[in-house]
Structures are given as structure tokens and as C-alpha cells.
Chain A
Amino acid sequence: MNRKSKPQTVGRRHIREDAEAKLKGRLRFLPDLRLDDMLHAAQLSSPLPHARILSLDLEAARALPGVVAVLGPEDIPGENRIGVIIDDQPLLAQGKVRYVGEPMAMVAAESAEAARAAVAAIGFELEELPAIFDLDQVEAQANEPIHEEGPIAVHQKLRKGSVERGFADADVVVEAELVTGLQEHYYLEPQGCIATPGESGGLVIHGSLQCPFYVQRDVSRATGLPQSRVRVIQTPTGGAFGGKEDIPSEFCARAAVLALATGRPVRLLLSRDEDFLSTSKRHPFRIRGRLGATKDGRFTAMEVYQDAEAGAYATLSPPVIYRACIQGAGPYDIPNVKVETRAWYTNQVPNGAFRGFGSPQACFGHERLVDLMAAELGMDPVEIRRINLLREGGETCTGHKLDESVGALETLERAAEASAKGAAEEEAHFEDGRWLFGTGHAAMIYGNCLGKAGWHMDGAGAYLQLHADGSVSCATGLTEFGQGARTVVQQMAAEALGIEPDQVSLMPVDTALVPDSGPTVASRNVVMSGNAILNAAAKLHERLAPLREELGDVSFRKLAGAAYKRNVNLAAEGWWHVPELDFDLKKGRGEAYFAYSFATQSARVAVDRITGNVRVLKVWAAHDVGCAVNPAGVEAQVEGGVAQGLGWALTERFAREGGNILARNLSTYHLPTAIEVPEIETIIVEEPHSQGPFGAKSLGEPVIIPTAAAIAAAVSEAVGAQVSEIPIRPEHVLELLERGGHDSNAL
């Protein structure tokens, strides 16, 4: 391949390919689409957290004007099942309801109002059962289990060396009990989809979603149609953050069943209220941990127990638990490690995927322990991390020996150095005496892609079609929902072919264009699509090579034109899958993931001694991304992840009472706004990985992982006592201030 005089696209700042369309309001999101003859769907939701369904009467609703179909569980033509991994969830509740908001029946009508009226007219009788609402109660599920199989949805273990021996070798042992809260995605565009009956008896689904291939499978299952008759096209998606991973499958499957029953397009759009109250959240965790170290700060053992609340169904608890467990002891080289992670059923909305997949919780756990240890030893928190962080040749907590691409230490040094300069400019705005300042650091490790537990679906395809004019159509199977991945894909395709990015047109993600590429989760997009594109481009180069030889140094356009005239096959399919992993799932030993991203974030905070309020003044985020294909995109991802991490750490308190959600809207659930989000400095570290396209590794999730832990560390330093719970509430801060010996009355 002759690359000499070719444009260099990878590594250059690049404006997003859809930036113009977004600015003109021209991008058509799902709610912006209008189809002729479209029906509107609505769902009947359970008002009780746990109950037996005694009767369901759909007749009165069916008789209302404008109502075209009212369906219950018996009317589902295929299987009444949904669920990615564990088969415990019905599409419409059957026999029992297990959380407030669980769908029991559904309606399609000529207008949204008629659909809502029909839902209100559905008759039902429920017999209330004792319910389990949180982790305090989970062990008492004996009388009326939520599921026959028992209270634990998932259990994952990790064992390395012997923690007994490790603690015996320690000079100092610290212990902590830690709590992390729920988090709501609040993607700005609520869930929505349209199912349209196709001419040949199949279905076309349009939706605001992350995982078209999940939808294809689940729609097929619910309707009984073969997967080949279900085509899924992703519409531009207004944010997702994991919240549109498995959840859209439910809505798409319900709309699909309604579309088949009525023979008309059916649109199912959630109101913000419905979305807020009935879709998945970040798992709350309880963490108990112990860390042992020698006097000079070397870790000898870490032991972590994580209990997570799964909610009423397992949904994505298995991969969340897998990741939380594998990363439970952090990016450190520790000879003896034990992690035990369980997800428990409760009568709450199922918790699922949320940016980080259990990693932010795990990170809060190990980083709090590390800071406790630093405090106990009187050691600088940066120094203790420097001593223990993984290096090339080191072994992760699962015993995976890392031979390449370990940027952990460099992220620490760079974040520490940058944050040491402080945030003097911001601090100047804070009144003397009333405010206390602190800086904290947190480091993380992130296994790229799905790891051993999801290896069977960790492959992805790409399709490149070269046209006679030298331009290229490119289709991949992984989706864009704001992360900027499409732009990176475009850049990588351009680089691989040696052309300018504007010569590459990206297709919408459509299951008809590329083979099943798995889910767009686990920060897979760039790594998977990039490698698949490289594979396809190599095929094209091979086919063009003889002509290149013959024609000499001609433009790509000329080459394409000549190839076209010679009937060269100008379309190529690419494929890549994650290399095989040698990992023992039972013991949690071996190669858990094929590559790891690393990061350190530092935060500077001001704490108000009178009110207990915390203001984040600045965050420095150093991320080892392997290769920053589009540095502008890296910065945007970092800013977004830090903002969400800040919300989870400080303002986003998801209050519940029993099975009811009290935090119902933004006046009770506070998202960070332009006022709370501080200046964020992105520091790019590039330790390329040999298996990453152009060396690139995952980024989309790492950006949120260390933020809350860094803020907690900064607050702890400011008040002189250790934070053990997030969100960090002002009341809690006032208690810590007292414990830290600060007397606010003295002010």
C-alpha cells in the first residue's frame, strides 16, 4: 500500500460529520418522523411493586372510539420473553408484577389521547404481595420470593493469590464500608420507536437506540418472525449513555407486536415522566473492603465485597457485575486479591447499563480504600498510587500479565502535575475563611470491549463501497448517540484508504447493511468498527494493487474510475473479532479483556463550611486512549463524562420511598447545569495497543469512571475526614466537618 503522499487524517482535530445538520435542526430524530397512517401506542403500567395478577379485562378499552388494538400477554404471537442474558423477564407481565411501572397491557390507537384513554379503561385486579425495596431487605426474601430461582440474580468471583497471606504480610490494614447511589440517564431524547409492517410480511423498526441487533433478535422472538424479516434502522439518537442499550428492545418488541396485529405503523414514544419512572438506572452499590500494605506503601492484599441492587429483573446485571468485579481492585499490581460481587433482586425498576457498567462504583470502592491507606500511612495519595500502579510486565488483579499499552503511570504523573498548579483563578472567587479547599485524585482501569463473559458477541462488521468517482460509502454496525464515533469511523476509513474524510459517506446503522456487530456498549465502537474497516480496506487495496502498479502514481479518483471500467469488485466487507481470551470465569483468573484503558482524574473543590455545599473548581482528566483519532472528540467525551460523574457524586440524589420514586423530575433530581460544571482540562496520553485500530483503545466509559472518586477524595482532603457515600450531601459534609475538627460556629 502506497501511503507516502497521502493525507493524514487520524490524529487530526476533525469537525463532526453531522455538525451542520444538527445546527440547522435538520437531523430527523425519531419524534420528528411522520408516517402516513401511523398509530400511537401506550402501555398500562403496574401501580404496585409486587402483586399477583388476578384478572385483566381488555374489552371495555377495545370498545372505545379510535382504539385499534388492545393487547395483553396472551396476544403476543411469539414468546412473551425479553432479556439479553438471563431469561427472567416477560414482555408483558404474566401472573405477577414485580415493580411499579411494569407494563401489563398495550394499546394502539388513532391518536395519543385515544391510546391513553384506552389504557385508563383497561380493567384489572391485583393482589398485593410483600415486597423487597432495597439492599437492606434482600436477604429476607424467603416468604414471597421475587423469582423462584432465589434472591441473587448474578454472582461473580475473582481470586488471586491468598488474601489471608497478604493481610498477614501487611503492616497496616484499613477497612471501609461504602455506598453509591442510583443514577438516572436523563438522555435528552426520551425512548421512542416506530414499527412498520413491510410489504412482504416483515417489519421495519426505526428507533432511538444503541443496539439494533439486540432489537432485531428481541422483535423476532416476540413476533415469531425470523430475524431475516426484521430490519432495524437506528434514527439519530439524542443521548443514550447505556440507557438505550437493552431497554429499546422492549419498546420495539411491543410496537412490533402492535404493528403486526393492526397492519399499520405504530409509534411508541415515552413521555419524560414515563421514561424517568420506568426505565433502567445505574445500580446502587454497597461495598465493604479491606486493603493491606507494608509501611512503605506497597499493597499486599485487597479484599472487596460488592452488593448491587438489580431491581426486579436481571436485564444487564450480568455484564455490570462482571465488570465491577474484574475491576474491583483497580489498576494496581497487588499479589493477593479477592473480589466477590452479587446483584440482588428487589421490587424496583430493573437497573441496567449506565456509562461505565459498574466501573464508577468499583472505582469509588478501591480509590476510597487507597486514600484511607495513604491517610493511615501519612503518605501522599499520589505517591502511594505511583508505587502500586500497574506497569508494563505487571499483572492485573485477574493475573493478566500486561506486555504492552499500560499508560496508567503516565496518566497519574500528568494529572498530578497539572493539578498541583491548583485552580487559583477559580479560588479567588471564594470568600476567605468560609471555604475549605481540597484536591483529590482517582485512577482507574477499564477492560476494553465485552471481555470473556461477552466474547461470543464481540465481533463487528463493516462495509466499504468504492464508487467510480473515488468516493466511498461506509456502513458499520455500531451506533452513534452523541459520542462522536461516526466522525472517528469516517476518519479511520479515510485513513485506511488514503483519502480525505469528506470523501467517505456514512450510512445510517441498518441491520440490512452489515452483519450482526453486537451491541454498541463497553466503548466498543472505535475499536471494533475501526478494525473491521481496516480489514475491508485491506481487501480493496489488494484488488486495486495490480492497477496501481500499471497506472503508477495516479489520484485515487482516477484509480477508482479505472478499476470500475475493468469490472473490479469495489465493495468489500470487513470483519474483526476480539482475540480469544484465556480466562476462568468461575475463579475470575486470566485474561479478562484483550486490552485495557487507563486514566487518572484530579479534582479541586471548595467546601462551604456553613452550608456543607461542595463546588468543583476544576477537573484534570488524563486518559490513556492508545491513539486519539480525533482529539476534539476525546475532549468532548471527557467533558461529558466528567459532568455526569460530577452529578453522580454531588447532585443526583435519586430518592425513593418503598416502591415509589420520589425524585420525579429535575426539581427533585438535580442534574448538573452550566453553573456546576467547571473547567475541565483534558490530558491525552497515547500508549498504543497492537490490536487497536491505529493503536486506539476504549474511551467513552472511562471518562466517567474516576470522577466521583476524585471529587470524594478532594472533599475528604478539604474537610479532614473521609467521605464514604455518594451522592455527597451537604448534611453529610457538615457531619464530616465536625469529625474533621472544623467548627463552623467559629466563623
Chain B
Amino acid sequence: MSLLELRVNGRVHSIDRDPDTPLLWILRDQFNLTAAKYGCGIGECGACTVLMDGVAVRSCMTSVSEAVGAKILTLEGLFAVEGHPLRRAWLGEEVSQCGFCQPGQIMNAAELLGRVADPSTSDVRAAMSGNICRCGSYPRIEKAILRAAKEMRHE
């Protein structure tokens, strides 16, 4: 155990945990931020994706000690302010089916849009290819990201 300081969604938390604990379990069990999901635990599905300093990471494969000092953003934080373009786009394109993969998809999309203002279809597909959706919402995710990108460019 050791005392660690984490910045999550703009708040600073101090926790006493084994520094090797995956960030996913700290977010879910300790902070009750349950949007990030456990889908595989070995970095293969993307359901646990959160942002660390704007970069998408698999929180199941990120130890909490690696997260110290970074700004961590989860879906709860991303959508805390009303009217995020990704949220509108996700609703507008009716993306979610079972919804379980969606928090991870959206966080990954948020990273992409933070990097690339005007992504092409193949940029989107390549960037999203590590996030599994077994319900098959891929075509809609693609449309939603392109739509949000457009809105963010104020077109």
C-alpha cells in the first residue's frame, strides 16, 4: 500500500492502494465511476478506455502509479457539461445498442477529435479499430464521429 494522489475529472483524490492496481478498479471500486467497463482485462476490447492527459489508455492495463500526476478524464467527466458535440452526435446517430462498449468508444473518439480536427473515414476506422462493439454499431460510431468533428469545426 502507498499513498497516491490522483486527478480525476478535475478533482484531486488521495488514495491508499497498491500502486500496481489497475486504474480501472480504482475508478470503479473506489470512486464509483462505473462508466469505464471491464470487458476483458487484458487490453483487447477497449471498454475500459479513459483519457490520461488527453491520450486514450486502457485503464485495465494501466497501473494506478502510472496515472499519478496525469489528468484523468472518464466519460462522467467528459459529459459533465451539457451539450458536448460527441454526446449530441451519439444521440443523433442513435449509436448505442446494449451500450456496454460505448463509454470506451466515446473516450477513444474524444482522443481522436483532440488530435485530428478533420478526420477522414479511414482515420476514424483506424483509430477506432481497437474498440470492440459486439452489437455491431461501427457504422453509426463512424457517422457520429464525423458529425461531431464537423460540429466542432463549426461547419
Which chain A residues have a beta carbon within 8 Å of chain B's beta carbons?
A: 15-16, 18-20, 22-25, 27-29, 31-32, 34, 185-190, 236-241, 271-272, 481-484, 632, 636, 639-644, 665-667, 671-675, 677, 679-680
With A16-B94, A188-B132, A679-B139: A482-B99 Cβ-Cβ less than 8 Å: yes
CB of B130 within 8 Å of the partner chain: yes
Nearest opposing residue in chain B for A28, CB measure: B34
- B99 near A18: Cβ-Cβ < 8 Å: yes
Q: Do B99 and A22 touch across chains, with their CB atoms under 8 A apart?
A: yes
- Contact pattern, B 56-91, Cβ under 8 Å of A = 1, otherwise 0: 000000000000000000111001000000010011
In the complex the two chains form, is A241's CB within 8 Å of B99's CB?
A: no
* Complex-state Cα separation, A190 to B41, whole angstroms: 11
Residue of A187, A272, A677 near B41 (CB, 8 A) is: A272
**A188 in contact with B94 (CB, 8 Å):** no
Interface mask (B120-137 → A, CB under 8 Å = 1, otherwise 0): 000011101111111111
Given contacts A187-B134, A674-B142, contact A237 B98 (CB under 8 A): yes
A-B contact pairs, 23 of them (CB 8 A): A15-B91, A19-B96, A20-B91, A24-B76, A25-B34, A28-B34, A34-B32, A186-B134, A188-B133, A272-B40, A272-B41, A640-B135, A642-B136, A643-B136, A644-B134, A665-B42, A666-B40, A673-B131, A673-B138, A674-B124, A674-B131, A674-B141, A675-B129
The answer to whether A238 touches B136, judged by C-beta atoms less than 8 angstroms apart, is: no
Does B146 have its Cβ within 8 Å of any Cβ on chain A?
A: no
In the complex the two chains form, what is the Cα distance from A642 to B98 in whole Å?
16
Residue of A22, A28, A481, A679 touching B96 (CB-CB under 8 A): A22
Q: In the assembled complex, which residues on chain B have CB atoms less than 8 Å from the CB atom of A483?
A: 97
* Pair A636/B132 contact, Cβ less than 8 Å: no
- B28-41 Cβ-contact flags toward A at 8 Å (1 or 0): 10001111111111
Among B28, B47, B94, chain A packs the most CB atoms within 10 A around the CB of: B94
Residues of B within 8 A of A19 (CB): 91, 94, 96
**Chain A residues whose C-beta falls within 8 Å of the C-beta of B38 in the assembled complex:** 31, 190, 272
Please tell me if B7 contacts chain A, counting CB pairs below 8 Å.
Answer: no
Q: Which residue of A lies closest to B101 (CB)?
A: A188
Sample of 12 more A-B contacts, CB < 8 Å, known A238-B99, A239-B97, A241-B134: A22-B102, A23-B96, A25-B74, A188-B39, A238-B98, A239-B135, A640-B136, A643-B138, A666-B132, A672-B136, A673-B130, A675-B129
Set A482, A667, A675: member contacting B98, Cβ < 8 A: A482
Chain B residues with a Cβ closer than 8 Å to the other chain, count = 50
Instruction: Give the residue name and chain of the A residue nearest to B145 (CB).
Output: A674
* A interface footprint on B4-47 (CB within 8 Å = 1, 0 otherwise): 00000000000000000000000010001111111111101101
Is B138 in contact with A674, judged by CB distance below 8 angstroms? yes
Q: Is the CB of A674 within 8 A of B47?
A: no
Interchain CA distance A292-B85 in the complex, whole Å: 58
Measured between alpha carbons, how far is A16 from B96 in the docked complex, in Å? 8
Looking at the complex, which one of A238, A482, A641, A674 makes contact with B37 (CB distance below 8 Å)? Answer: A238
Please give the distance in Å from B137's CB to the nearest CB on chain A: 7
With both beta carbons as reference points, the residue of chain B lying nearest to A483 in the complex is identified as B97
Residue in chain B with minimal CB distance to A680? B139
Q: How far is the CA of A28 from the CA of B90 in the complex (A)?
A: 19
Q: Are A23's CB and B44's CB within 8 A? A: no
B76 touches A188 (CB 8 A): no
Chain B residues whose C-beta falls within 8 Å of the C-beta of A190 in the assembled complex: 38-39
Given the known inter-chain contacts A16-B94, A482-B98, please indicate yes or no for A640 contacting B126, CB distance below 8 A.
no
Most buried by A among B32, B91, B132, B136: B136
Q: In the complex the two chains form, is B76's CB within 8 Å of A185's CB?
A: no
CB distance A188 to B47 under 8 Å?
Answer: yes
A32 to B34, CA, bound (A): 6
Which of A186, A237, A640, A671 is close to B137, meaning CB atoms less than 8 Å apart? A640
What is the CA–CA distance of A568 and B24 in the complex, to the nearest angstrom? 52
Return chain A residues, CB-CB under 8 Å to B41. Answer: 271-272
Chain B residue numbers with a CB within 8 Å of A15 are 91, 94
Bound-state CA distance A18–B34 (Å) is 17
Q: Is the Cβ of A636 less than 8 Å from the Cβ of B130?
A: no
B133 in contact with A25 (CB, 8 Å): no
Which residues of B line the A interface, CB within 8 A? 28, 32-42, 44-45, 47, 74-76, 79, 87, 90-91, 94, 96-103, 106, 124-126, 128-142
Q: Is the CB of A23 within 8 A of B90?
A: yes
Assess whether B136 is in contact with A641, with CB atoms less than 8 Å apart: yes
Which residues of chain B are near A18, meaning CB under 8 Å? 96, 99
| Nearest CB in chain B to that of A646: its residue | B136
Assembly CA distance A644 to B133 (angstroms) = 10
Contact among A34, A666, A675 with B45 in the assembled complex (CB-CB below 8 Å): A666
Q: A671: shortest Cβ distance to chain B, in Å?
A: 6
Q: Which of B42, B126, B135, B141 has the most CB of A within 10 A?
A: B135
* Complex Cα gap A19–B40 (Å): 24
State in angstroms the CA–CA spacing of A186 and B135 once bound together.
10
- From known contacts A23-B90, A25-B75, A673-B132, infer whether A636 and B35 are also in contact, taking CB-CB under 8 Å: no
Interface centre among A238, A667, A679 (most CB of B within 10 A): A238
Q: How far is the CB of A740 from chain B (nearest CB, A)?
A: 30
* Chain A residues with CB below 8 A from B124, complex form: 674
Chain B residues whose C-beta falls within 8 Å of the C-beta of A34 in the assembled complex:
32
- Chain B residues, Cβ within 8 Å of A238: 37, 98-101
A296 to chain B, nearest CB (A): 40
A438 and B48 alpha carbons, distance in the complex (Å): 39
Docked-complex contact B37 and A188, CB < 8 angstroms: yes
CA distance A536 to B110 in the complex (A): 45
Find A677's partner among B28, B79, B100, B138 (CB 8 Å cutoff).
B138
Q: Are B79 and A644 in contact (CB under 8 A)?
A: no
* Max chain B C-beta neighbours (<10 A), residue from A28, A640, A667: A640
Q: Shortest Cβ distance from A40 into chain B, in angstroms?
A: 12
Roughly how many angstroms separate A14 CA and B22 CA in the complex, as a whole number? 39
CB distance from A453 to the nearest CB of B (A): 28
**Bound state CA distance, A20 and B102, in angstroms?**
12
| A673→B125 CA distance, assembly (Å) | 9
Report yes or no: B103 in contact with A639, Cβ–Cβ below 8 A. Answer: no
Q: Which residues of A contact B42 (CB under 8 A)?
A: 272, 665
The residue that A188 contacts in the complex, of B32, B33, B45, B125, with Cβ under 8 A, is B45
CB-based closest 10 A-B pairs: A25-B35, A482-B98, A238-B100, A643-B136, A640-B136, A22-B99, A32-B34, A482-B97, A666-B44, A188-B100
A671→B136 contact, CB < 8 A: no
Structural contact, A272 and B125, CB atoms closer than 8 A: no
Chain B residues within 8 Å of A31, by CB? 28, 34, 37-38
Q: In the assembled complex, which residues on chain A have CB atoms less than 8 Å from the CB atom of B79?
A: 23-25
Question: Distance (Å) between the CB of A206 and the closest chain B CB?
Answer: 15
- When distances are taken between beta carbons in the complex, the residues of chain A under 8 Å from B28 are 31-32
Q: For residue B75, which residue of chain A has the nearest CB? A: A25
Whether A25 and B91, one on each chain, are in contact in the complex, defined by CB atoms closer than 8 angstroms, is no
Establish whether residues A185 and B137, one from each chain, have CB atoms under 8 Å apart when the complex forms: no
Find chain B residues with CB under 8 A from A25 CB.
Answer: 33-36, 74-76, 79, 103
Q: Which A residues are in CB contact (< 8 Å) with B129?
A: 673-675
Q: Hey, which chain B residues are within 8 Å of A185, CB to CB?
A: 134
Task: Please give, as numbers and ranges, the residues of chain B lying within 8 Å of A677 by CB-CB distance.
Answer: 136, 138-139
Instruction: Determine how close the nearest CB of chain B comes to the CB of A693; give it in whole angstroms.
Output: 22
For A32, the chain B residues whose CB sits under 8 A away are 28, 34
A644 to B132, CA, bound (A): 12
Expressed in whole angstroms, the minimum distance between the Cβ of A620 and any Cβ of chain B is: 13
Q: How far is the CB of A356 from chain B (nearest CB, A)?
A: 14
Q: Which residue of B lies closest to A189 (CB)?
A: B100
Q: Which residues of B contact A16 (CB under 8 A)?
A: 94, 96
Which of A23, A29, A667, A673 is in CB contact (< 8 Å) with B100? A29
The closest CB in chain B to the CB of A32 belongs to B34
A318 to B79, CA, bound (A): 47
- Bound together, the chains give a CA A241 to CA B98 distance in angstroms of 11
Q: How far is the CA of A331 from the CA of B76 in the complex (A)?
A: 49
B136:A639 contact, CB within 8 angstroms: yes
Within the complex, the shortest CB–CB distance from A384 to chain B, in Å, comes to 30
Residue of A nearest to B99 (CB): A22
Residues of A with C-beta under 8 A to B40: 272, 665-666
Of chain A, the residue at the smallest CB distance from B142 is A674
B72 CB to nearest A CB, Å: 15
